């Protein structure tokens, strides 16, 4: 059985790598076509674009001769880790729900709920009275709790009323967006000091609250990185232990495999469905919490106009990793690397960063068919084994 599991894991990895390679190839093809059709672009600039797509995170700019240079770029690497933090956590949110047979498309709303709770706690408690580290901890835990509560709602609707979780999550996303908008609109947290930023909420550094750097700023000087990436990795490890080494994890997977068979075996399927969505919501809430507790970014409170992309970026991250929490760490970093490559493409060539969106969309499309790719790989293995027997 262990050998079979190892083969399944290998096929999943190969399927993900095939999806990534095809996506990168499609991106390179787009760059080539645009380069050939544009009078302002040469074959040299086309080749530069392809190189930046693959190695953008290592780009160090251009030398005196105007040639692209590559090497260790601490600012890009640090920013990649900073951007990867929320993507890893929303990937965990989607992956944990998948394990129990649920499609959590509500990570965006849970992300907003976590953001709202975190900012209200971090900016409302006076740091002159309460220690900054305690406010940070309360804000982070409050963000996770808010995300868990918002995630549990679609879980309860599915468990007790059999309402499709996808529909429930979509509705909860927009309800969260409008509720969060209303709460910030009536609050006194808007940045009215700068008249041009009245639609923004103060950074948490306004109250002296920010995630500690933990020495990462010395490894990656000039970047936005902080200890949030370490927390995201720790949470991924904890989710891996929960899913693969605990009774609760076994019950969640059993409900995902067959809810009614699990109930027949004595497992409380309804409780586990709600709990699964609550855990998923907590991960999405943590994503929003860590992103804004960094103190690097301001929150634009008119969220009803658009849902946060981080809530949906977790879907391809989870699919590429086959919902494995450890794999999500690496696929999250890969998606973040692509976003850095897009910025380098815009800054150093005549291309724009939206080409990386093409790559991501192709990868997402193919990752959705990862099961087909795994079956194809398994079929090739069986065919090779049959040919070997016939030769004997």
CATH of the domain at 141: 1.10.3470
285 and 316 part of one domain: yes
Q: Is 186 helix (H, G, I), strand (E, B) or coil?
A: coil
Residue bearing tokens 């770029």: 73
By mean pLDDT, which of 139-148, 167-176, 185-194, 308-317 is the weakest? 185-194
Q: Which of 34-43, 132-141, 349-358 has the highest mean pLDDT?
A: 132-141
Average pLDDT (347-372) is 72
Is the same domain home to 194 and 61? no
- From 307, 332, 357, the end of a domain falls on 332
- The answer to whether the CB of 97 falls within 8 A of the CB of 104 is yes
What pLDDT does residue 365 have? 73
**Domain identity same for 8 and 83:** no
Length of the chain: 392
On whether both 255 and 113 belong to a single domain, the answer is yes
Q: Are residues 221 and 324 in the same domain?
A: yes
Residue ending a domain, choose from 332, 363, 383: 332
Is residue 287, in this structure, part of any structural domain at all? yes
Q: Does the pTM exceed 0.85?
A: yes
My answer on whether 87 and 53 are in the same domain is no
pLDDT range class, residue 150, cuts 50, 70, 90? very high
Residue corresponding to tokens 């949110």: 93
Residue ranges making up the domain that contains 31: 2-72+371-391
Q: Are residues 45 and 171 in the same domain?
A: no
So what's the pLDDT on residue 147?
A: 97
Least confident of 34-43, 100-109, 121-130, 323-332: 34-43
DSSP secondary structure string for all residues of 197-257 = GTTEEPPGGGGT-----TTHHHHSTTS---THHHHHHHHHHHHHHHHHHSHHHHHHHHHHH
Q: Is residue 338 part of a domain?
A: no
CB-based contact 301:200 (threshold 8 Å)? yes
95 and 188 assigned to the same domain: yes
Residues 87 and 13 in one domain: no
As to burial, measured by CB atoms within 10 angstroms (0-12 exposed, 13-18 middle, 19+ buried), residue 206 is middle
Average pLDDT of 177-182? Answer: 90
345 domain-assigned: no
- pLDDT tens, residue by residue, 267-316: 898 999 999 999 999 999 999 999 999 988 888 876 556 788 888 888 88
> What count of Cα atoms within 13 Å lies in the side-chain half-sphere of residue 82?
26
C-alpha to C-alpha distance for 113 and 141, rounded to whole angstroms: 12
Q: Where are the alpha helices (H) located in the chain, listed in sequence order?
A: 2-37, 43-55, 74-99, 107-124, 132-161, 165-185, 216-219, 228-245, 247-257, 259-264, 269-293, 310-320, 325-348, 354-367, 370-391
Same domain? For 174 and 301 the reply is yes
Q: How many domains does the chain have?
A: 2
Q: Are residues 40 and 141 in the same domain?
A: no
Question: Are both 65 and 196 inside the same structural domain?
Answer: no
- pLDDT, position 52: 86
Residue 355 domain flag: no
Lowest mean pLDDT among 11-25, 173-187, 270-284: 11-25
């Amino acid at each position: 059985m262990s050998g079979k599991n190892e083969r399944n894991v290998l096929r999943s990895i190969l399927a993900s790598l095939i999806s990534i390679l095809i996506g990168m190839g499609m991106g390179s093809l787009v760059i080539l076509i645009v380069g050939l059709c544009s009078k302002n672009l040469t074959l040299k600039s086309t080749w530069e674009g392809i190189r930046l797509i693959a190695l953008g995170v290592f780009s160090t700019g251009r030398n005196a001769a105007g040639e692209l240079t590559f090497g260790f770029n601490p600012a890009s690497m640090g920013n990649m880790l900073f951007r990867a933090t929320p993507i890893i956590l929303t990937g965990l949110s989607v992956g944990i729900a998948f394990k129990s047979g649920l499609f959590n498309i509500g990570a965006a709303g849970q992300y907003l709920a976590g953001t709202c709770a975190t900012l209200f706690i971090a900016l409302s408690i006076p740091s002159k009275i309460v220690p900054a580290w305690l406010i940070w901890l309360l804000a982070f835990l409050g963000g996770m709790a808010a995300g868990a509560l918002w995630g549990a709602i679609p879980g309860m609707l599915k468990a007790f009323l059999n309402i499709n979780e996808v529909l429930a999550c979509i509705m909860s996303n927009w309800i969260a967006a409008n509720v969060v908008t209303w709460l910030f609109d009536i609050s006194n947290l808007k940045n009215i000091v700068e008249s041009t930023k009245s639609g923004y909420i103060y950074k948490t550094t306004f109250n002296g609250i920010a995630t500690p750097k933990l020495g990462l700023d010395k490894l990656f000087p000039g970047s936005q990185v902080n200890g949030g990436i370490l927390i995201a990795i720790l949470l991924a490890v904890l989710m891996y232990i929960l899913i693969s080494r605990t009774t609760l994890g076994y019950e969640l997977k059993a409900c995902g495999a067959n809810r009614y068979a699990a109930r027949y075996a004595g497992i409380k399927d309804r409780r586990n469905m709600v709990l699964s969505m609550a855990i998923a919501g907590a991960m999405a809430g943590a994503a929003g919490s860590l992103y804004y507790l960094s103190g690097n970014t301001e929150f634009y409170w008119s969220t009803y106009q658009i849902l946060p992309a981080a809530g949906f970026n977790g879907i391809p991250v989870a699919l590429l990793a086959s919902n494995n929490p450890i794999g999500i760490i690496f696929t999250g970093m890969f998606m973040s690397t692509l976003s850095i490559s897009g910025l380098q493409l815009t800054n150093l060539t005549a291309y724009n960063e939206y080409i990386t969106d093409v790559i991501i969309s192709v990868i997402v499309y193919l990752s959705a068919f990862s099961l087909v790719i795994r079956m194809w790989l398994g079929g090739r293995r069986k065919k090779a084994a049959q040919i070997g027997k016939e030769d004997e």
